[in-house]
């Protein structure tokens, strides 16, 4: 690990907060809102000062810890993605089977392989196929060939009476679903056929487990947002947009939003619907949980717990605190691989970072600088680094989970005939899109009928590129059609609230689509919302991408009827109209 220089970290923090005044002003608004939350809790519990501080800190850390306990599905999501790829592409199964068929698989620790994986899908594909093949070879020692033959007849016999007779005989001898599953796998004639059947069962089993965990994650996110009165804020913001667009039938109540996080509602959702909702709300939860931690950090740094009602927040002070937080985050990520001790919990593990290697010079420079800027705080670097570890753990876990969820969505899109419009949003500025500007994250947008707004999420470009390349042997994806439709009189109408579309909302979209005039400034927005309805209406045409982008270099272009990508011709600078 190279030496960390405080002055360099300070400059990096200042650069990240390049629009410091605007960020500080927004932070002050958020802290004022947080003050109300603190005050309400203080009055309700009749606690003050240190006791109040300890309670809020404990509740926050307990919430993060509980969330971490049910967030260990990242690996399972990778397994499911790998199995989907294999089960939908027989040539991948053929290739890996030929590679491993002569190996002694009994000596492989498949669980350890998962933990040590670098995250590449090819590793998960080979591990899942190897594990399933090893299981089949072990089970073959105990499965009765006669029983397999009878089971085969029970599903292939053309004579109805004979088939029923075989089925009754199987029922008498076999009572458990697991035994039926094993027989169904072993009716394959060759080892590879049995493997293919077994992998399909494996995918279903892991999906069921993952679905259960995702439901719990979704509920936890809703609990946090509801407790902190954030759902009410999102409802008001989204309804304000609907008022601007003169669409009263699209409005939501806070009660309607709270309902989607209940067991009764969640249990009725299709897996794909849950994945869509989870992708948005987990992302929102992460941002708010991190923001909550930031407000705690501000309260602690300025010692506001005793006198938060009286203190007026100073913009320059807030800038200094945000710089301090950024420095701690950057130093943390620089030293995070230097683990002192690994703690293994039931569903996840985490490392305790060795802070002994933080240099005395760095600690001294940090304290000297912030003692001058923030004398209210102790400014002890090691304490400040420890302070935010829970918050950073959750940020890392949830963003990984969100990425995996969206990967699932991207995998399912090609099989989902309801989705006609999805893709990359270029976010072009000064003639270059986000890929050409070498941005780490790209914006993906999806129109899924039955929801009130498009799902928009920033994802790591490399993750999307690798996934598409593995599935399609290409890095070209659609450019999302109609992103400009959500720009109304110079304002971007973003998705503040992502909800299942109500019957009233769908009727509103249909009515507005029929009546809107092409000269109306709301025209693009209302026509685009027509792509989100579930009913077939002749006058409302589905939207399809017309342009495409190569994720490797950001080259944009079109596709021919035979699916060939044709890049745009470069602009000849000499022939430009000046």
Decide if pLDDT at 501 tops 80.
yes
Q: Is the pLDDT reported for residue 506 higher than 90?
A: yes
Do residue 423 and residue 562 come from a single domain? yes
Please tell me which of 124-138, 206-220, 325-339, 389-403 the model is most confident about, judged by mean pLDDT.
124-138
Model confidence pLDDT, tens digit, residues 248-267: 999 999 999 999 999 999 99
The DSSP bridge partners found for residue 353 are 339
Same domain flag for 370 and 459: no
pLDDT exceeds cutoff 60 at 350:
no
Q: How far apart are the first and last CA of the chain?
A: 52
Judged by DSSP in three states, 212 sits in: helix
Identify the CA nearest to 433 among candidates 543, 557, 545: 557
What's the helix, strand, coil split of the chain in %, to 5?
Answer: 60, 10, 30
What share of the chain in percent tops pLDDT 70?
93
Note the pLDDT of residue 301: 93
pLDDT band at 345 (very low <50, low <70, confident <90, very high): low
> For the residues 117-142, what does the mean pLDDT come to?
91
Decide if 62 is inside a domain: no
Strands (E), 408-564: 422-425, 441-446, 455-460, 476-478, 487-488, 491-492, 548-550, 556-559
380 and 488 co-located in one domain: no
**Structure tokens given for 445:** 């947008």
pLDDT for position 416: 81
In tens, the pLDDT along 509-520 reads 999 999 999 999
Instruction: Give the residue, 473 or 427, on which the prediction is more confident.
Output: 427
pLDDT tens sequence across 321-338: 999 999 998 988 888 765
pLDDT band at 351 (very low <50, low <70, confident <90, very high): low
* pLDDT of 272: 84
Contacts for 249 with CB less than 8 Å, ≥ 6 apart: 504, 505, 507, 508, 511
Give domain status of residue 441, yes or no: yes
Q: Which residue has the tokens 């089977």?
A: 97
Same domain, 456 and 397: no
End-of-domain residue from the set 346, 370, 405: 405
Note whether residue 66 is domain-resident. Answer: no
The lowest-confidence range among 30-34, 172-176, 252-256, 443-447 is 172-176
Query: What is the residue range of 511's domain?
Result: 417-567
pLDDT above 50 for 578? no
Residues 202 and 79 in one domain: yes
H helix intervals, 89-190: 90-100, 110-116, 121-139, 145-156, 160-173, 177-186
Q: Are residues 374 and 461 in the same domain?
A: no
Cα 139–Cα 145–Cα 149 angle in degrees, nearest 5:
120
Query: Is pLDDT above 50 for 577?
Result: no
pLDDT digits (tens, 9 = 90+) for 426-444: 999 999 999 999 999 999 9
- Percentage of the chain beyond pLDDT 90 is 62
| Position 251 in a domain | no
Q: Read off the pTM.
A: 0.82
pLDDT greater than 70 at residue 340: no
299 and 209 fall within a common domain:
no
- Residue 202 covered by a domain: yes
Angle at 285 between CA 284 and CA 291, to 5 degrees: 95
Helix (H, G, I), strand (E, B) or coil at 210: helix
Beta-bridged to residue 565, according to DSSP, are 559
pLDDT of residue 574: 54
Q: What are phi and psi of 537, to 5 degrees?
A: -125, 120
Q: What is the pLDDT of residue 419?
A: 93
Q: What is d(CA 378, CA 224) in angstroms, rounded to the nearest whole number?
A: 30
Predicted pLDDT of residue 1: 57
Residues 118 and 141 in one domain: yes
Left, alpha or beta for 561 (phi > 0: left; psi -120 to 50: alpha)? alpha
DSSP state, residue 322: H
Per residue in 271-318, pLDDT tens? 888 989 998 998 899 889 889 999 999 999 999 999 999 888 999 999
Of residues 221 and 406, which shows the higher confidence score? 221
What average pLDDT does the chain have? Answer: 89
| Residue where a domain stops, chosen among 166, 194, 213 | 213
Residue 60 has pLDDT above 80, yes or no: yes
State how far the Cα of 75 lies from the Cα of 485, in Å rounded to an integer.
37
**pLDDT at residue 342 tops 80:** no
**Residue 254 lies inside a defined structural domain of this protein:** no
- Asked if the structure places residue 380 within a domain, the reply is yes
The reply to whether 517 and 556 lie within a common domain is yes
pLDDT 10s digits, 149-162: 888 888 888 888 88
- pLDDT at site 576: 47
Under the banding of pLDDT at 50, 70 and 90, the label for residue 30 is: very high
In a domain, 220, yes or no: no
Q: What pLDDT does 346 receive?
A: 52
What is the gyration radius of the CA atoms in the chain, in angstroms?
Answer: 28
The pLDDT assigned to 36 comes to 92
The total number of structural domains in the chain stands at 3
The more confident residue out of 201 and 577 is 201
- Residues 423 and 555 grouped into a single domain: yes
Please report the pLDDT score of residue 73 as a whole number. Answer: 61
Same domain, 36 and 144: no
User: What is the Cα–Cα distance from 201 to 185, expressed in whole angstroms?
Assistant: 8
- Residue 405 binned pLDDT confidence (cut-offs 50, 70, 90): confident
- Give the pLDDT score at 339: 52
Residue 343 has pLDDT above 60, yes or no: no
Q: What is the rounded average pLDDT of the residues 496-507?
A: 97
Same domain assignment for residues 22 and 83: no
The last residue of a domain, from among 405, 435, 462? 405
């Amino acid at each position: 690990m190279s030496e960390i220089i405080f002055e360099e970290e300070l400059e990096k923090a200042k650069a990240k907060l390049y629009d410091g005044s605007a960020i500080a002003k927004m932070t002050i608004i958020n802290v004022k809102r947080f003050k109300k939350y603190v005050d309400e809790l203080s009055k309700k519990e009749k606690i003050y000062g240190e006791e109040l501080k300890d309670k809020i800190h404990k509740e926050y850390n307990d919430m993060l810890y509980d969330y971490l306990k049910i967030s260990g599905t990242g690996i399972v999501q990778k397994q499911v993605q790998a199995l989907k790829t294999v089960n939908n592409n027989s040539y991948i199964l053929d290739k890996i089977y030929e590679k491993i068929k002569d190996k002694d698989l009994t000596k492989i620790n498949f669980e350890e392989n998962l933990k040590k994986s670098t995250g590449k899908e090819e590793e998960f594909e080979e591990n899942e196929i190897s594990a399933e093949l090893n299981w089949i070879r072990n089970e073959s020692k105990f499965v009765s060939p006669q029983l397999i033959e009878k089971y085969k007849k029970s599903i292939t016999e053309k004579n109805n009476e004979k088939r029923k007779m075989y089925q009754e005989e199987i029922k008498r001898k076999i009572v458990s679903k697991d035994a039926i599953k094993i027989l169904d796998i072993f009716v394959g004639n060759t080892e590879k056929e049995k493997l293919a059947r077994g992998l399909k069962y494996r995918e279903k089993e892991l999906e069921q487990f993952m679905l259960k965990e995702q439901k719990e994650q979704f509920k936890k996110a809703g609990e946090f947002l509801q407790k902190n009165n954030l759902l009410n804020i999102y409802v008001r913001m989204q309804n304000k947009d609907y008022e601007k667009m003169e669409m009263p039938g699209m409005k939501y109540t806070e009660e309607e939003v709270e309902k989607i996080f209940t067991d009764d509602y969640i249990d009725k959702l299709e897996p794909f619907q849950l994945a869509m909702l989870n992708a948005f709300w987990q992302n929102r939860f992460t941002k708010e949980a991190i923001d909550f931690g930031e407000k705690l950090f501000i309260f602690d740094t300025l010692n506001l717990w005793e006198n938060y009602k009286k203190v007026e927040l100073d913009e320059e002070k807030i800038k200094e605190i945000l710089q301090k937080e950024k420095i701690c985050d950057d130093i943390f990520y620089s030293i995070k691989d230097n683990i002192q001790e690994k703690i293994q919990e039931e569903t996840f593990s985490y490392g305790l970072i060795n802070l002994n290697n933080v240099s005395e010079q760095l600690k001294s420079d940090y304290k000297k600088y912030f003692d001058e800027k923030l004398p209210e705080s102790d400014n002890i670097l090691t304490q400040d680094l420890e302070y935010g570890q829970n918050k950073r753990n959750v940020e890392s876990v949830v963003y990984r989970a969100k990425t995996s969820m969206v990967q699932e969505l991207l995998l399912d899109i090609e099989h989902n005939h309801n989705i006609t419009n999805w893709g990359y949003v270029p976010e072009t500025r000064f003639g270059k899109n986000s890929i050409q500007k070498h941005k780490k994250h790209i914006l993906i947008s999806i129109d899924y009928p039955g929801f009130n707004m498009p799902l928009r999420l920033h994802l790591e470009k490399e993750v999307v590129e690798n996934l598409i390349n593995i599935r399609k042997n290409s890095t070209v994806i659609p450019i999302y059609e109609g992103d400009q439709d959500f720009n109304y009189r110079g304002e971007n109408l973003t998705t503040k609230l992502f909800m299942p579309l109500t019957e009233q909302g769908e009727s509103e979209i249909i009515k507005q689509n029929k009546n809107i005039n092409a000269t109306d400034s709301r025209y693009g927005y209302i026509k685009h919302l027509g792509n989100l309805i579930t009913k077939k209406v002749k006058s409302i045409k589905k939207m399809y991408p017309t342009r495409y982008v190569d994720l490797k270099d950001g080259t944009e272009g079109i596709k021919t009827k035979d699916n060939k990508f044709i890049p745009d011709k470069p602009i000849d600078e000499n022939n430009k109209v000046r």
